[in-house]
């Protein structure tokens, strides 16, 4: 457009005699345009898409090894350095914008105060967590806690919850120096959001930094829009595309997880699978043809999904969008992985000491707008899209909870079989003494009250009123402390869980920071 205006101006100079004052004015305007173009191009050039790098040859395992590469950001590579090694705790933060982020942050506060009786004495439940998964809005507290740990309490509110994140979205579309995505096909709107998240929260951190922090593993989830499958940012998944996760910015994963279609462009990663010489993970090699051909086999389905990425010609790129599309509770991908683990896998991975498996689902999903049921007509396009999306998520979440419960029960059975194959006692404990529990903590599960109505009415966005943020944080905190299923499960490990502090301390803990 600017070039077209310059050409038209040149034609007019040939046919019109301009007075010196007019010439000076045009020069000033022209210089201003050049400066503006320079600023625009400089701003556009400052955004570079973060892509995957191939795994170094030195990291590759021999053909037939359990993993494709050595080390990297995966649960098995992070040492167990907690007081209760026989207790596995998994936490999942759902999608739902800043509403879910605030609710999840409150749940972290609650887990910090619930105490578990361990051989070393009472310890916070949060210190016993092995992995935290998060999608969409839930990826913010997961990633932030993974990097900042104790500094999360107070810092997350300052850096994210109380900030006007929507202003960065508006700036991507309205500020000319952010319009690189209009002219460069290699730059997308989500590249600008990655930059914003990095400046405000992650400050250049990569997955190598997360690995250095140790457990809990932070599993950020996105959706592959080509296949509709959930993708986790861990080295097990990146092994399949022969890529080194350690150099990838954490902000890149969070941007992918929050890439709402239509509003943000997908985050694209290059598949380097051809560089790994046909290597395949051990669990995949152990799944036979019969399971692959069985349409009801979850392990077979996981194998088929994984093999799509091993074929680099078929899948040259992985295009990622909002993690809530495929798994809004942030539980399915992790559940599929445990489902694919056989009794032999559990023996070889050293999990025989595990006796208790606890999964905590922190669900910040709001309520459907049921007021439409009282009206003769439905509103415009956006209301219709919201209703359809909400209905799909609600239905899918229900099935996810059932599925993951079944997977946990199956994992418990396999753990029991693997332990009892070693003998009647394992570490002095009966081999069959294994149990698991899924604890679902949600906004919708609160008792009916005006406060619940207000909580459920808080919108799914990235900027919220400060009072709404505080209300959500308190709700997440109280939900953890008041969960009867959580109390019952922890009460049986190994003796009695120490009673958590009263919920009234939520406000005091905020004032004390």
Q: In this predicted model, what pLDDT tens digit does every residue of 246-302 receive, in sequence order?
A: 999 999 999 999 999 888 999 999 999 999 999 999 999 999 999 999 998 988 998
Residue 382 to residue 29: CA distance in whole angstroms: 42
Q: Which of 163-167, 415-419, 474-478 has the lowest mean pLDDT?
A: 415-419
Q: How confident is the model at residue 78 (pLDDT cuts 50, 70, 90)?
A: confident
Could you state, in order of their start, the residue ranges of all structural domains in the chain? 50-367+394-512
Q: How far is CA 325 from CA 72, 217, 219, 344, in A?
A: 27, 22, 16, 33
CB-count burial class (<10 Å; 0-12, 13-18, 19+) for 353: middle
State the CATH architecture for 50-367+394-512. 3-Layer(aba) Sandwich (3.40)
In degrees to the nearest 10, what's the CA dihedral of 37, 42, 46, 51?
Answer: 60
Q: How far is CA 367 from CA 97, 373, 386, 455, in A?
A: 14, 14, 11, 9
Is-contact 161 102, C-beta < 8 A? yes
Identify the residue with better confidence: 44 or 472.
472
Residue 407 in 3-state DSSP?
helix
Q: How confident is the model at residue 76 (pLDDT cuts 50, 70, 90)?
A: confident
Q: In this predicted model, what pLDDT tens digit does every residue of 327-353 receive, in sequence order?
A: 999 998 666 555 555 555 555 556 778
Q: What DSSP state is assigned to residue 198?
A: I
| Unique residue bearing structure tokens 């990569």 | 206
SS (H, E, C) 314-355: CCCEEEEECCHHHHCCCCHHHHHHHHHCCHHHHHHCCCCCCC
Q: How far is CA 308 from CA 240, 271, 289, in A?
A: 9, 11, 16
Residue 7 to residue 28: CA distance in whole angstroms: 17
Top-confidence range, 134-138, 171-175, 182-186, 499-503: 134-138
What is the pLDDT of the chain when averaged over all its residues?
83
Q: Does a cis peptide bond (omega within 30 degrees of 0) precede residue 216?
A: yes
Identify the residue with better confidence: 387 or 322.
322
Neighbours of 9 (CB within 10 A): 12
Residue 61 to residue 462: CA distance in whole angstroms: 42
């Amino acid at each position: 457009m600017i070039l077209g205006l310059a050409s038209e101006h040149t034609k007019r100079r040939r046919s019109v005699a301009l007075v010196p004052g007019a010439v000076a004015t045009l020069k000033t305007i022209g210089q201003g345009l050049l400066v503006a173009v320079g600023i625009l191009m400089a701003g556009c050039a400052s955004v570079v898409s973060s892509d995957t790098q191939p795994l170094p040859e030195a990291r590759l395992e021999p053909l037939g090894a359990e993993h494709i590469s050595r080390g990297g950001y995966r649960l098995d590579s992070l040492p167990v350095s907690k007081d209760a090694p026989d207790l596995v705790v998994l936490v999942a933060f759902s999608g739902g914008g800043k509403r879910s982020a605030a609710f999840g942050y409150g749940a972290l506060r609650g887990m910090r105060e619930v105490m578990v009786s361990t051989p070393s004495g009472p310890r916070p439940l949060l210190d016993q967590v092995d992995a935290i998964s998060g999608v969409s809005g839930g990826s913010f507290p997961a990633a932030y806690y993974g990097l900042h740990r104790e500094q999360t309490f107070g810092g997350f509110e300052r850096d994210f919850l109380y900030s006007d994140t929507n202003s960065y979205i508006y700036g991507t579309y309205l500020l000319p120096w952010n319009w690189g995505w209009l002219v460069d096909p290699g730059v997308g709107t989500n590249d600008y959001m990655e930059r914003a998240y990095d400046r405000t929260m992650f400050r250049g951190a990569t997955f190598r930094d997360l690995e250095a922090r140790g457990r809990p593993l932070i599993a950020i989830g996105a959706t592959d829009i080509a296949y509709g499958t959930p993708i986790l940012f861990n080295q097990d998944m990146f092994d399949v595309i022969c890529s080194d996760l350690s150099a990838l910015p954490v902000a890149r994963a969070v941007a992918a997880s929050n890439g709402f279609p239509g509003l943000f462009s997908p985050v694209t990663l290059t598949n380097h699978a051809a560089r790994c010489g046909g290597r395949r993970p051990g669990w995949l090699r152990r799944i036979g043809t019969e399971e692959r051909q069985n349409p009801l086999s979850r392990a077979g389905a996981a194998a088929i999904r994984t093999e799509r990425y091993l074929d680099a010609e078929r899948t040259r790129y992985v295009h990622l969008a909002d993690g809530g599309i495929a798994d809004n509770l942030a539980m399915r991908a992790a559940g599929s992985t445990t489902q694919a683990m056989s009794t032999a896998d559990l023996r070889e991975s050293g999990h025989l000491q595990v006796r208790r498996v606890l999964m905590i689902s922190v669900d910040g999903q709001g309520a459907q707008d049921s007021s439409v049921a009282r009206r003769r007509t439905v509103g415009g396009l956006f209301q219709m899209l919201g209703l359809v999306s909400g209905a799909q998520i609600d239905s899918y979440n229900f099935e996810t909870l059932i599925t993951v419960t079944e997977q946990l029960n199956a994992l418990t059975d396999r753990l029991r079989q693997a332990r009892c194959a070693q003998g009647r006692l394992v570490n002095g404990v009966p081999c069959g003494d294994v149990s698991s529990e899924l604890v679902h903590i949600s906004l919708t599960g609160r008792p009916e009250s005006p406060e619940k109505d207000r909580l459920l009415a808080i919108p799914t966005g990235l900027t919220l009123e400060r009072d709404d943020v505080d209300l959500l944080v308190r709700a997440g905190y109280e939900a953890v402390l008041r969960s009867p299923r959580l109390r019952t499960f922890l009460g049986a490990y190994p003796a009695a869980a120490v009673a958590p502090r009263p919920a009234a301390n939520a406000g005091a803990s905020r004032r004390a920071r």
